Amino acid sequence: MSLTTYWLEHAWLGTLPQALGSARAGGTPTEPGVALEVTEDGRIGTLRTGVETPPPGAEVLRGLTLPGLANAHSHAFHRALRGTVQVGSGTFWTWRDLMYKVAQNLTPDSYFALARAVYAEMALAGITNVGEFHYVHHAPGGAAYADPNAMGEALIEAAAAAGIRITLLDTAYLSSGFGEAPNTHQLRFSDGTAEAWAERASALKPREHALIGAAIHSVRAVPAAELATVAGWAEERRAPLHVHLSEQTAENDACQAAHGRTPTQLLADHGVLGPRTTGVHNTHLTDTDIALLGGTTTGTCMCPTTERDLADGIGPATRLQHAGSPLSLGSDSHAVIDLLEEARAMELNERLRSRTRGHWTANALLTAATADGHAALGLHDAGRLEAGALADFTTIALDSVRTAGPPARLGAETAVFAATAADVRHTVVGGRHVVRDGHHTLVGDVPTALSESIAALRS
């Protein structure tokens, strides 16, 4: 039974990555005039192309409509660092010290308020699903809350309040380094052992808008002997498993000193790699690492705006994809929240490194931002405009100062290489408007919600 009909002025219907040479001449054409019916259960019922005028009663979406974007890697509380960590110079490690100070001030209530505002900002950017890499589990000092999952539940409820989907990637974080106990700041991240982590994480339950996955913070934060426990928990539930991987050369050096192998090789030895696993960053890899990740179809989540903000380096995304590692995108520390910029940056970073152009088509970059991103988060029925898929989509203006000019048939190229989050006009989740005409329908004043929730952490 149909609930709503949307008429899409233009729609991007491509979902399969393609090599540059296989794109149709002149770009990746979009479809004009698409009628999309939404069923009562929030899925796409029928989809008709060549509909020149809006059907009677249809909701009209002017611009280019894409499947909802998937933010495959988020730390919601890092949004409070924006601007403040851009003062002066430093390294990833000095940035981390500032991050710890913000983390110490979080409570379940303040985290809900901040995450609700951050997820609303994501909806305004066309994001319909977020992978929240969650490791702030306990009170400062490490004592458990009355509900041991109070912080995770706050994030799940915040996503509901902001109208988007979430995969809560509950994160094992047990040590400060190879063989070292958690430092003072990290005590609230740690469950003590992987078994204790698994017991707590098992109490989290999925719901209509939320899936539960797992994460290994990094090989330095989970002892090698406990990696298999986390991987086994995810395998038993067929849940997504994410891990920060080789973001910094210092991590690689420390792993070599402790175990005589790279982080990727250590993960392989303990059964962590595989098609439901995603390595986040995958920046500093050896040829053997790339072959291991590709050969096991372990995914790669690139976060270019954070990787450049923290001076991490440029990961070998083209080589990883050619080896068999699916690519997804994340905004990570939220230096900006803009998945179009993440897609653009992945291509442009590779151009700077290789001094050649055209490593991915717009079609392939949008696929990383949509279907492959949702798949990395365990949501395989999203990220496509097709019958039976979740009715999650977003519309980008083609008449803004950034996007005006190119023909509409090049809407995909315009979206990836010119548009920004500011060009998002509508976001629909489960067939219902969350953002309409650039305004959030559930959070009335998102900038104020951000300002107030961030200020509360500094008081």
Q: How many residues in total does the chain contain? A: 459
Tell me phi and psi for residue 277, to 5 degrees. -100, 140
Q: Which two structure tokens, joined as six digits, stand for 148?
A: 């041991």
Out of 312, 332, 338, 372, the active site residue is 332
Residue 185 exposure: Cα atoms within 13 Å on the Cβ side: 12
CA distance 328 to 242: 12
Q: Which amino acid appears at position 391 of this protein?
A: A
Give dist(CA 264, CA 216) in Å, integer: 13
Pull the structure tokens for residue 174. 């047990």
H/E stretch holding 447 reads helix 446-458
- Placement of tokens 């078994």 in the chain: 195
Q: Based on the residue annotation, tell me whether 259 is a catalytic residue of this protein.
A: no
Which residues, including other chains, have CB under 8 Å from residue 402's CB and lie 6 or more apart? 418, 419, 420, 422, 423
Q: Please tell me which residue in 138, 281, 284, 334 is annotated as part of the active site.
A: 281
Query: 143: which residues sit within 8 A by CB, 6+ positions away?
Result: none
Burial annotation 295-333 (CB, 10 A radius, 16+ → b, else e): ebebbbbbbbbbbebbebbbbbbbebbebebbbbbbbbb
Q: Report whether 136 contacts 173 (CB < 8 A).
A: no
Sheet with 127-134: list strands edge to edge: 69-74, 127-134, 165-172, 210-216, 241-245, 277-281, 299-302, 327-329
Q: Is 75 a catalytic residue?
A: no
- Read off the tokens for 248: 């910094």
CA distances 334 to 195, 302, 305, 339, 414, Å, are 31, 13, 8, 11, 23
The three-class DSSP label of residue 112 is helix
H/E element, 137: none
Q: Nearest Cα to 273, choosing from 206, 320, 322, 332?
A: 320
Given a contact cutoff of 8 angstroms between Cβ atoms, the answer to whether 300 and 284 are in contact is no
Tokens matching residue 14: 């491509």
> Who's near 252: CB < 8 A, 6+ residues apart?
246, 262, 263, 284
Query: Which residues are known catalytic residues?
Result: 281, 332
